[in-house]
Amino acid sequence: MCSTDINQYLENNKNWVNSVLSNDKEYFDDLKEGQHPKALLLGCSDSRVSPSMVLGSELGELFIHRNIANVVSHTDLNFLSVMQFAVENLGVKDIIVYGHYGCGGVKAAYENNANGLIDNWLANIKDVIRHHKAELNSVVDENERLNRLVELNVLEQIENIKQTSIYRQAIESGIKLKLYAWVFDFNTGLVIDLKKKYKITPSIT
């Protein structure tokens, strides 16, 4: 991994502004008019999974919330506020849960060692482990088991989104929210659509 001098980012920023303006002089005038993002994305805070970069999205396209291991907790006012604003104010209809193989948060929950404050957050993933204990135990290779846990965690967070009052109210008012379960793979750089991989159509809208 490179060790960039922090101030280099400010230089990078100036270069980026120059390059953007050389392509489109009105880029920032358009941007300040307001946002109409295509989707809400919940991802992991991990520095290696930057959704905007990996998905090639432009500014204004993704409304993003990130936390350790892309968890939807019903007591997390931060995510719930982001989701409410995205759905009710911005009119976002597509919600992506974007996990990643090799997730340190998922691994820490699986290993179940004491890590202090973060254990309270990881308890959300320990619930996923408990719900899927039999399936996880049936995977012999530990690395594959962790990969499966990453996938199950994404799918469980989709279920958690469906339990929120925001989702239920949207559906009751006839708004068709679409939920996507995606996993980023460090090995290939590719993002895997779990719905396609496992042909899960009815359970995720």
Q: Which stretch binds Co ion (CB under 5 A): 9-17, 36-44, 147-155, 173-181?
A: 36-44
DSSP string across 126-187 = HHHHHHTHHHHHT--SHHHHHHHHHHHHHHHHHHHHHTSHHHHHHHHTT---EEEEEEE-TT
> In this complex, which beta carbon is closest to Co ion, that of residue 53 or of residue 134?
53
> In this complex, which beta carbon is closest to Co ion, that of residue 103 or of residue 122?
103
Site for Co ion contains 103 (CB under 5 A): yes
Q: Say which amino acid occupies 76.
A: D
Q: Which stretch binds Co ion (CB under 5 A): 17-25, 50-58, 104-112, 144-152?
A: 104-112
Which residues are part of the catalytic machinery?
Answer: 44, 46, 48, 100, 103
**Long-range pairs for 114-120 at CB < 8 Å and ≥24 separation?**
118/68
Q: Which of 39, 44, 72, 181 binds Co ion (CB under 5 A)?
A: 44
Chain residues in the site for Co ion (CB under 5 A): 44, 46, 103, 105
